[in-house]
Structure 1
Amino acid sequence: MKKITCSKTDSQWARLCAPFFGISLRTSTASLILRHGLVFALALSEIILSSPALAQSEAPKCAQVFQEQKLLITDRVAKNQFVTNRHLEDYARELHPDFKNSITKLSANQHWVDLGAGKALAQIDYIKSFDKNTDAAFVSAVAFKLDRWFSPKSYNGKLQVHEGAFESQPTHTWKKADVVTDVYGVLSYTGNLSVSLQKTIDMMNTGGELYLLMTPYGTSVRSGETNIPFFDFVKSIPGLKIEGTASQVKITKTAETVIIPPLQLVRYKDEAPPLRLFQLNFKEN
């Protein structure tokens, strides 16, 4: 164990902490007692943190931090520099026409997940459309961050908000989704499309539907010497049924297990949404 020494900083901490312990530092004895207490606490924390059991428990946290560093989080995403106030009527108008029927047919025990939900206004509109909140399906709003002043109610547990990078979210612990929406959201902005799309498909029930609003040619996948739009890329993936257009995409999960081929980001132009090019069939390290 490294030697712990007292310093001017320790003294400053002692002065800050003393009032919380009801100790006056006007006497040298009280100051000495508190300083020794602080040193003992520091030593004890070092012993605990150096224990093998705790080291193992901290490993996943370290791995998560490392994973966060590999994510492409642009200033635009970090600062929420895009539309965050879309309502349910906007979703109904802009997504594939089948979305309106799908969201209406959801039962109280089913689940709608929205990727890139902004202020979750569409989900709140949906819940409020019922006379009783408990009759609405469960809804989850995924947002990189919410405005500091904005904190939506849970509406009797029907609404959950998940903040942070979607790639790092523990989606395997979530209730399986029957409808997923993405209106110029996560799947339009992520720098790791294969991971985000795999997580999305994995969290869906078989028969679940994914509705995307995307820039038609904003995302391309290079296969060999040819660049194909995202719409054509997902058509080639077994276990997925693709309908709609390159901008209004409807994806139905038709198999329990779906494998998204790995993609490597080649080019990313930070616009709203960004222009992205991914390379297909590369070997991961």
Structure 2
Amino acid sequence: HCPESFEKLTQLVNRNFFETRRDFEKYAELFPQSFLSRISLLGSDGHWLDAGSGEGFALQDLFNQTVIDPEAVIKEADSSFWRKRKILIDPVNLQESAQRLNFRSPEDKPKITGITYKMERPDPKIPNLTFKIGRFFEEIPLNEFAQADLITDLYGVISYTPRLDEVLRRYHALLKDSGRAYLFIGDYLTVPQHIWTRRVERIGEEGWYSPFVNSTVKKADGSTVSLLDWIQSLPDFYAEVEKVVIQQPKRGNLVPGQIERSTLVLEKKTGHSNIPSLKLVESDEGKPPVRKFEEVP
């Protein structure tokens, strides 16, 4: 299964060009609102697994007295330090989720596991918060994990792995029945907009800005489909793309439009997984990379 791909991945991680310090409010902004609802309903018997947690600040935030400040989230949604915009947020859902999350006693909070290959700070040593550090998810024995109600993957394992089929099997095995995995996949522009690529602003045309969606799978019958379509066709999950809508005002010669910040939500179906085997045949140097896979017998 392309061991040289893990060598490339190790080199990439060690160069550390990633955003690794996201807090929980950033997760609440990037993921669809059903994520916030789901996690706010988890009690002491719940388990959240974050597949690519970086420095782990978002996970640690869940053990704060105030997990999320609705006013701060709404203020951030209405502006940005570098351009005007508006993230559409349901204030009722935000307030209700915040009330469930904030000021909850530690014993009423779920268990949380973060997977991070490289962590620059010491483990904060919080009860019920566990970090798996220094190993790729694909190589950690499954029996080291508890069953999960919720898996999040924000530019994490699914965006970089050379063993995508194995990761999906593991997600299926680790999710409780009807548990959900939130796989962040990127942005769709409804009209040309100003976008940022590697900290440089440019004009982005209408369409997907997503290495995940631009990746492909060549199926056993010879046809080629997008990675998104391939995963959505798997019988092992109920699959739906959920969106966070960001309104962009008129700017210069560009007409107003919106960015649809998209997450693939997979809900586990019962039974054994029947995910076809894949091999990675090509991967570029992007962060994350555009990849080409093929089904293998």
Q: With structure 1 as the length reference, what TM-score do the two structures score? A: 0.70
Distance 1:67 1:267, change over 3 A: closer
Residue 232 of structure 1 aligns to a residue in which SS?
helix
Aligned: 1:239 with 2:236: yes
The offset of 1:80, in angstroms, is 2.6
Contact 1:212 1:248 in 2 (8 A): yes
CA deviations over 1:78-116 (Å, ceiling 9, x no partner): 333211011111111112321010010111111000001
Residue 286 of structure 2 aligns to a residue in which SS?
coil
Aligned: 1:275 with 2:287: no
Residue 123 of structure 1 aligns to a residue in which SS?
helix
Query: Which sections of structure 1, spanning at least 5 residues, go unmatched?
Result: 1-65
* Equivalent position of 2:52 in the other structure: 116
Give percent identity, aligned residues only. Answer: 26
Distance 1:96 1:265, change over 3 A: same
Aligned: 1:81 with 2:34: no
Aligned: 1:137 with 2:107: no
Give the whole-Å Cα distance in 2 for the aligned partners of 1:72 and 1:205. 32
The offset of 1:208, in angstroms, is 0.5
Contact 2:51 2:152 in 1 (8 A): yes
User: Greater Rg, structure 1 or structure 2?
Assistant: 1
After TM superposition, the structure 1 stretch with the greater mean CA deviation from structure 2, 66-75 or 113-122, is 66-75
* Equivalent position of 1:161 in the other structure: 131
Contact 2:238 2:266 in 1 (8 A): yes
Give the whole-Å Cα distance in 2 for the aligned partners of 1:227 and 1:68. 24
Contact 1:211 1:250 in 2 (8 A): yes
Matches within 5 A, 1:146-157: 146-147=119-120, 150-156=121-127
Contact 1:172 1:203 in 2 (8 A): no
Aligned: 1:220 with 2:220: no
Q: Which runs of 4+ in 1 moved over 4 A?
A: 66-70
Contact 1:96 1:249 in 2 (8 A): no
CA deviations over 1:108-130 (Å, ceiling 9, x no partner): 11100000100111111112134
Residue 127 of structure 1 aligns to a residue in which SS?
coil
Out of 272, 278, 285, which is 1:257 matched to?
A: 272
Q: Which has the higher strand share?
A: 2
Give the whole-Å Cα distance in 2 for the aligned partners of 1:258 and 1:78. 33
Residue 278 of structure 1 aligns to a residue in which SS?
strand
Contact 1:96 1:244 in 2 (8 A): no
Contact 1:192 1:264 in 2 (8 A): yes
Distance 1:134 1:218, change over 3 A: farther
Q: Which has the higher helix share?
A: 1
| C-alpha RMSD over aligned residues | 2.1
Matches within 5 A, 1:38-117: 71-74=6-9, 75-117=11-53
Give, as a single letter, the amino acid of the residue that structure 2 aligns with 1:254.
K
Query: Which sections of structure 2, spanning at least 5 residues, go unmatched?
Result: 68-102, 186-209, 243-260
* Equivalent position of 2:156 in the other structure: 185
Give the whole-Å Cα distance in 2 for the aligned partners of 1:193 and 1:84. 22
Give the whole-Å Cα distance in 1 for the aligned partners of 2:227 and 2:262. 10
Q: With structure 2 as the length reference, what TM-score do the two structures score? A: 0.67
After TM superposition, the structure 1 stretch with the greater mean CA deviation from structure 2, 185-194 or 236-245, is 236-245
Give the whole-Å Cα distance in 1 for the aligned partners of 2:23 and 2:223. 38
Contact 1:67 1:168 in 2 (8 A): no
CA deviations over 1:123-166 (Å, ceiling 9, x no partner): 1111213443222100000011111xx1232322x100002111
Give the whole-Å Cα distance in 2 for the aligned partners of 1:132 and 1:76. 39
Give the whole-Å Cα distance in 1 for the aligned partners of 2:236 and 2:270. 5
The offset of 1:273, in angstroms, is 0.8
